[in-house]
Structure 1
């Protein structure tokens, strides 16, 4: 595998923003010796996304680029197709509405290449809003991949994340289960990025973030609507029980802990509901915990226990190697 970075952009009807996204990649300032490429994944686009990208790639022939197609709808499937077509040792997932700062690729490479125990690194999102967000949304800006991640040790935003390709290859080749498939068309599922991060940690790697890795996240008016925001929280809430199963495995707790966590969420919901009566701006905190409880009901105790056992059987198998055993 050649040393360098593959930037993967997964697109579903991205004609509105893809030009700006690509232009920020064309303007990257990198060491002349650093090899990198752009891979655009057409995930069932019905607009002019691919045509626009082709025209822009022709204007920048000095940058390696290609367009591939993934017909199976879903962000996770599109990313997997991108990984399978990537030729370099590290990959950056750049969302179509991400505008990476001019030294993003070089800085991400320097961070992840400096320490072989870093499995993935992430940056800081800065919002570019079509209209000012409401106070309710401002309180939970991380839902939009905004803000610093330097204190995160258990997950990273999918936006702008840089991952060792060998880790993703291992997940694909050994068919490690991925229960959260991400966005599918207009359906707002969530948690696929965090699930990959959980596998990274289970493999013995660590996560790293830097505020020097900055990107703008272009957020149109419709994504700041309260109905859209609630759909996002539903996606995060439904993903939470699955991610908690991973956390239990990482901390080597018994599955019984899941019941204690449900009780904790119930108590937090009651607390946030009381706070909401005093401060309506805390609505998102309350609704998110409500969605987590709905998520537990959706998956069910038996399925979550089955998931726990499935993950356990993999990480306890003789052929499952963690970082220090792979070197």
Structure 2
């Protein structure tokens, strides 16, 4: 089975990207067995022009001018030759056996559509403040436990353990239909776009997988270290992330009739935000402020659209 590793990137940090590529170079599955596709999503810092990829016999850098992580992923999907595609962010350091394990899981289960694993944080050179811990999941730091988990439908809602974009593996045969789905949909989820912190593109892939009758799964043996710079644990960044990701999450769930919350009239949103300011005591602590911004994003994502 041939894999394709897809790395969409926008103005990557050279040190972090080098670590990502070093981990790929060190994979137990030799580079002759997988394809490397790096998608330059309209970068302007010139970092990709200085990356040494001579170690990989089947690599390419693809330019995608249309801004947005979803568009970057789709550009990579279209160039991919593998039966299974592995999404890697430009700050994801894969464990040495990651690609070989992905090959094993997808080879032995034809019904497996998407999969991911355990993601731990790499806080290099600093110690994060304790108040930030409840928000680490927003930074794609996740540990659903030590057991394999799988879901084959959306009957119980969106599976909490479903893979996120960091390290997600997905069957290529399913991606072709997903591309048509999001390309034709008005107001498609674009995910990260420039400085926007909206999200949901990876969740939409899982929803598509499940709607096609395939399984999505979590395998704890799949391991990634996610490099988290100190700036992503600052109050302002976390507040903006909570606001934008929560709003886009509500919009995505509504699109697929999976939303557990009722819609709200637009006129009420301002009042709800004021009430939440006091509920979360947003003035008292960074944690309260970040939670309040998440509530604001939720209300905006639930605004009832006119008939």
Question: 2:168 maps to which residue?
Answer: 161
Write the distance in 2 (CA, Å) between the matches of 1:127 and 1:270: 34
Write the distance in 1 (CA, Å) between the matches of 2:68 and 2:46: 19
Deviation (angstroms), 1:209 = 0.8
Q: 2:241 aligns with which of 232, 254, 266?
A: 232
Please list every run of at least 4 consecutive aligned residues from structure 1 whose deviation after the TM superposition is greater than 6 angstroms: 269-272
Change beyond 3 A, Cα 1:271–1:293: closer
TM score, norm. by length of structure 1: 0.77
Change beyond 3 A, Cα 1:144–1:33: closer
Change beyond 3 A, Cα 1:73–1:19: same
Question: 1:309 maps to which residue?
Answer: none
Deviation (angstroms), 1:48 = 3.0
Write the distance in 2 (CA, Å) between the matches of 1:140 and 1:230: 10
Q: Is the 8 A contact 1:7 1:92 kept in 2?
A: yes
- Map 1:3-152 onto structure 2 (within 5 A): 3-14=1-12, 15-30=14-29, 35-53=33-51, 56-58=52-54, 60-61=55-56, 63-130=57-124, 131-149=126-144
Deviation (angstroms), 1:234 = 1.5
Deviation (angstroms), 1:66 = 1.0
Question: 1:290 maps to which residue?
Answer: 296
Q: Is the 8 A contact 2:199 2:244 kept in 1?
A: yes
Q: Is the 8 A contact 2:116 2:168 kept in 1?
A: yes
Deviation (angstroms), 1:282 = 5.4
Q: 2:192 aligns with which of 166, 183, 187?
A: 183
Write the distance in 2 (CA, Å) between the matches of 1:195 and 1:104: 23
Count of residue correspondences: 287
Q: Which runs of 5+ in 2 are unaligned?
A: 150-157
Write the distance in 1 (CA, Å) between the matches of 2:115 and 2:184: 21
Any idea what SS the aligned residue of 1:156 has? coil
Q: Is the 8 A contact 1:149 1:210 kept in 2?
A: no
Change beyond 3 A, Cα 1:34–1:182: same
Write the distance in 2 (CA, Å) between the matches of 1:34 and 1:64: 7
Any idea what SS the aligned residue of 2:122 has? strand
Write the distance in 2 (CA, Å) between the matches of 1:171 and 1:48: 31
Q: 1:194 aligns with which of 188, 203, 207?
A: 203
Q: Deviations over 1:229-268 (max 9, x none)?
A: 111112212112222225525x9x9xxx7449x99xx99x
Change beyond 3 A, Cα 1:19–1:290: same
Deviation (angstroms), 1:114 = 2.0
Deviation (angstroms), 1:295 = 2.3
Any idea what SS the aligned residue of 1:41 has? strand
Q: Which runs of 5+ in 1 are unaligned?
A: 306-327
Write the distance in 2 (CA, Å) between the matches of 1:287 and 1:51: 38
Q: Is the 8 A contact 1:153 1:208 kept in 2?
A: no
